[in-house]
Chains A and B, each alone.
Chain A
Amino acid sequence: MNNSHEVTLENHVHRDDVGARMGMWLFLFTEVLLFGGMFLVYAVYRFQNQEQFKLAALELNTGIGTLNTIILLTSSLTVALSIAAIQNKNKFLSIVFLNSTLLLALMFMVNKYFEWSTKFAHGIYPGSKELLEKPNGQILFYGLYYVMTGLHGLHVLIGMIILYIIKRQIKKDIITPDKYVKLENSGLYWHLVDLIWIFLFPLFYLIQ
């Protein structure tokens, strides 16, 4: 209470950064519920089809999954560093870090593209003849794999667009060292995308 009073006295700007971040967190909770529902479906089907899930997961490429995990974790780091840079009034470094995030995100999507196209080439995609011949548990595994990593990939793409817009705004001094809550909130979105992957990775790539 005390604090917000001082802020209004010091500079007569009507703005509430804590409120803005809180709003972003509320949005993130809806995202958690969206993915949470899918994790729930995954949990029940995996419990019902334990052996088939293991067999189906063997065909996923653990190497590419691990590589994408490292890429995404690093991209999360560069977003955090970009915020630290703008707090240190270093506009140039902030943009450099955001560019690194965008580059890493692109690498993630390229890997995803190769991963999926290899699967497609082997005839494993939703509704394919080869997949439908497999036992029910494996069809469920691949259905969940495509929907969950697909929705996650869509989030990566949206995150890339948002971070690109944010980068332009830093360049044009719309986002400044005194006013960077938009960068913080976009960062929160990006970290959520990373968080979801932290769970997707062991659940799909590391079943033994």
Chain B
Amino acid sequence: MEHTKKHPGYTTYILVWLALLVFTSITVTIAGIDLGKYTLLIAMFIAAIKSALVINIFMHIKFEEKIFKVFIFLSGMTLLIIFILTFSDFLFR
């Protein structure tokens, strides 16, 4: 088969799922505390960690060839550039 690296088993997936549930409860709990401007930042940070878990393990990117990681990096950067350009236009108009 073309799968060069070994795939994770049931246990790994269940552990990742538990971690995702823990992060969900953290983000819900934190939302209840007033942290002012940091609330959004923390929420997005936790969402990013959850995404990394889903992409790497559930979507097998950790076990895929390097080119997949390059693709994801490039599409992420494209999105980031679009956000930065829009906000620089919007803020300094």
Q: A residues within 8 Å of B by Cβ?
A: 3-4, 7, 16-18, 21-22, 25-26, 29, 32-33, 36, 40, 43-44, 47, 62, 66, 69-70, 73-74, 76-77, 79-81, 83-84, 87, 178, 184, 187-188, 191, 194-195, 198-199, 201-203, 206-208
Q: Which residues 30-77 of B have a CB within 8 angstroms of A?
A: 31-32, 34, 39-40, 43-44, 46-47, 50-51, 54-55, 57-60, 64-65, 67-68, 71-72, 75
Residues of A within 8 A of B20 (CB): 73
Known: A18-B65, A36-B82. A84 touches B54 (CB 8 A): no
Q: Which residues 1-51 of B have a CB within 8 angstroms of A?
A: 1-4, 7-10, 13-14, 16-17, 20-21, 24, 27-28, 31-32, 34, 39-40, 43-44, 46-47, 50-51
Q: Which residues 73-93 of B have a CB within 8 angstroms of A?
A: 75, 78-79, 82-83, 86-87, 90
Known: A195-B51, A199-B47. A77 touches B27 (CB 8 A): no
| Contact yes or no, B2 A18, CB < 8 A | yes
Q: A191 to B50, alpha carbons, bound, how many Å?
A: 12
| Contact yes or no, A62 B17, CB < 8 A | no
| Contact yes or no, A81 B13, CB < 8 A | yes
9 A-B pairs with the lowest CB-CB distances in the bound complex, closest first? A206-B31, A202-B43, A77-B17, A29-B75, A80-B13, A80-B58, A36-B79, A73-B20, A17-B2
CB distance from B31 to the nearest CB of A (A): 4
Q: B residues within 8 Å of A by Cβ?
A: 1-4, 7-10, 13-14, 16-17, 20-21, 24, 27-28, 31-32, 34, 39-40, 43-44, 46-47, 50-51, 54-55, 57-60, 64-65, 67-68, 71-72, 75, 78-79, 82-83, 86-87, 90
| Contact yes or no, B51 A7, CB < 8 A | no
Q: A199 to B49, alpha carbons, bound, how many Å?
A: 11
Contacts A18-B2, A77-B13, A208-B31 aside, 20 further interface pairs with beta carbons under 8 A come to: A3-B2, A17-B1, A21-B64, A22-B68, A26-B71, A33-B78, A40-B82, A44-B86, A47-B87, A47-B90, A73-B17, A73-B24, A77-B16, A80-B58, A187-B58, A188-B59, A191-B58, A195-B55, A198-B47, A206-B28
Q: A97 to B44, alpha carbons, bound, how many Å?
A: 30
Q: A74 to B18, alpha carbons, bound, how many Å?
A: 9
Do most interface residues of chain B lie in helix, strand or loop, or is the interface mixed?
helix
CB distance from A17 to the nearest CB of B (A): 5
A–B complex contacts, Cβ < 8 Å, 8 sampled? A40-B83, A43-B87, A76-B17, A80-B58, A81-B14, A187-B58, A191-B55, A194-B54
